[in-house]
C-alpha cells in the first residue's frame, strides 16, 4: 500500500482540567522535515514530540501546531508586567527629554509595546503531557488516513499508466519482428543494385547486412523494460516505495530512449514517444509518494 505525502489531521485530548489540541499538515519533501509550533511550556518536550512523530511518519514536510489550555479558565487572558512597564516609561521620558518633545504619554503608546504584557504559562505534569501525545497521535492518525486514501488513488493512476506502457511495448515488439526483416530485405536489395556481381561474395555481404540489421534489434531493451514494469507494480505493495519507484522510472526511461534511437519504424518511434510521455507523468506522480 502506498501513501501520499500530502494530508491534514487534527486531534484533541482532555481531562477535567486540561485540554490539548494538535494540528498536522504534510506536503512533499525528499526527506522527513518537522516544523513545530509549541507553547513555551512544551519547549523542554520538543525532542520527545519529534521522536514520536518520526516513529509514525517516514517522509514529508510536516507543520505541527499544538495548543494547550486549562479548562474553565480564560487561556487568552493577559497580565501587565509592572517591572517592564516602569522601565518602558522611564526610557520614554528620557527619549522625550533628549528630543525635547512635550507630547504627553498616552495609552495608545503603551499598547504598541507587547513586551509589557505576559500570558500565564501552564506547567505540565507527566499525565498532562500524555494528553499532549494523545492529541498528536489522534492528529497523526487522521493525517495517515488521508495519506492512505490519496495514496490509493495514486496507486490506481500508476497501475493504469503502467498497463498503457505495456500495451505500447507489445505494439513495439510485434512491429520490431516485422520491421527488422523488412529492413534486412531492403538493405539487401539496395546492395544488389549497387554491386554488379553480388554472387562473387554473397556470404560476406549477407553477413555484413545481418550485422547492420542486428544493430536495429530491440529485443534486449524490450525485455528489460518489461521487467522494470513488472518490478514497478510489485513495488507498489511495499512500504515506502517512493525512492525505488523513482529509480525504476530512470531505468524505464533509459530503455525507452534506446528503443527510440534504434528504431527503424515510424510506428515504433511514435510508440516509444508515448511511452516516454507516460513515464514522465509517472515520475511526477511518484514525487508525492512517501
> 109-156 pLDDT, tens per residue?
666 676 676 655 556 778 888 899 999 999 999 999 999 999 999 999
Question: What is the arithmetic mean of pLDDT over 226-245?
Answer: 88
Q: Is 239 helix (H, G, I), strand (E, B) or coil?
A: coil
Tell me how far apart the alpha carbons of residues 151 and 154 are, in angstroms, rounded to a whole number: 5
> 89-105 pLDDT, tens per residue?
888 788 778 887 887 77
**258 C-beta neighbours (distance < 10 Å), count:** 17
Q: Which of 285, 11, 290 is nearest to 154 (CA)?
A: 285
**Beta-bridge partners for 69:** 19
**pLDDT tier, 261 (very low <50, low <70, confident <90, very high otherwise):** confident
Domains of the chain, residue spans: 79-118, 152-286
Question: What is the arithmetic mean of pLDDT over 244-256?
Answer: 92
Q: What is the structure's pLDDT at 93?
A: 82
Percent of the chain with pLDDT over 90: 38
Please say whether the beta carbons of 258 and 176 come within 8 A: no
Please say whether the beta carbons of 164 and 82 come within 8 A: no
Tell me how far apart the alpha carbons of residues 224 and 257 are, in angstroms, rounded to a whole number: 13
Question: What is the arithmetic mean of pLDDT over 224-248?
Answer: 89
Better-predicted residue by pLDDT, 62 or 182: 62
Residue corresponding to grid cell 500495451 = 167
**pLDDT tier, 189 (very low <50, low <70, confident <90, very high otherwise):** low
Question: What is the arithmetic mean of pLDDT over 280-287?
Answer: 91
Top-tier CATH class for 152-286: mainly alpha
> 32-85 pLDDT, tens per residue?
999 999 888 888 889 999 999 999 888 889 999 999 887 765 445 556 677 777
pLDDT surpassing 50 at residue 21: yes
Query: How many CA atoms lie less than 13 Å away from 21 in the CB half-sphere?
Result: 7
Better-predicted residue by pLDDT, 117 or 169: 169
Amino acid at each position: 500500500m502506498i501513501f501520499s505525502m500530502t494530508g491534514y489531521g487534527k486531534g484533541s485530548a482532555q481531562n477535567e482540567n486540561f485540554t490539548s489540541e494538535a494540528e498536522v499538515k504534510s506536503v512533499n519533501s525528499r526527506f522527513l522535515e518537522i516544523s513545530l509550533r509549541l507553547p513555551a511550556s512544551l519547549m523542554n518536550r520538543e525532542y520527545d514530540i519529534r521522536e514520536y512523530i518520526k516513529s509514525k511518519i517516514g517522509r514529508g514536510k510536516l507543520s505541527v501546531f499544538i495548543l494547550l489550555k486549562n479548562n474553565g479558565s480564560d487561556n487568552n487572558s493577559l497580565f501587565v508586567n509592572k517591572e517592564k512597564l516602569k522601565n518602558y516609561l522611564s526610557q520614554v521620558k528620557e527619549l522625550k527629554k533628549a528630543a525635547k518633545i512635550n507630547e504627553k504619554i498616552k495609552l495608545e503608546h503603551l499598547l504598541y509595546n507587547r513586551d509589557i504584557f505576559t500570558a500565564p504559562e501552564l506547567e505540565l505534569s507527566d499525565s498532562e503531557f500524555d494528553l499532549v501525545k494523545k492529541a498528536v497521535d489522534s492528529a497523526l492518525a487522521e493525517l495517515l488516513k488521508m495519506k492512505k486514501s490519496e495514496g490509493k488513488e495514486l496507486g490506481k493512476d500508476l497501475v493504469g499508466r503502467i498497463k498503457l506502457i505495456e500495451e505500447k511495448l507489445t505494439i513495439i515488439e510485434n512491429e520490431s519482428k516485422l520491421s527488422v526483416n523488412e529492413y534486412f530485405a531492403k538493405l539487401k536489395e539496395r546492395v544488389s543494385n549497387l554491386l554488379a556481381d553480388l554472387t562473387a561474395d554473397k556470404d560476406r555481404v549477407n553477413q555484413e547486412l545481418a550485422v547492420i540489421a542486428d544493430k536495429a534489434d530491440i529485443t534486449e531493451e524490450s525485455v528489460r523494460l518489461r521487467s522494470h514494469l513488472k518490478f514497478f507494480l510489485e513495488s507498489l505493495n511495499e512500504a515506502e516505495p517512493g525512492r525505488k519507484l523513482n529509480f525504476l522510472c530512470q531505468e524505464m526511461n533509459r530503455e525507452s530512449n534506446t528503443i527510440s534511437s534504434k528504431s527503424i519504424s515510424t510506428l515504433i518511434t511514435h510508440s516509444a514517444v508515448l511511452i516516454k510521455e507516460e513515464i514522465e507523468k509517472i515520475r511526477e506522480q511518484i514525487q508525492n509518494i512517501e
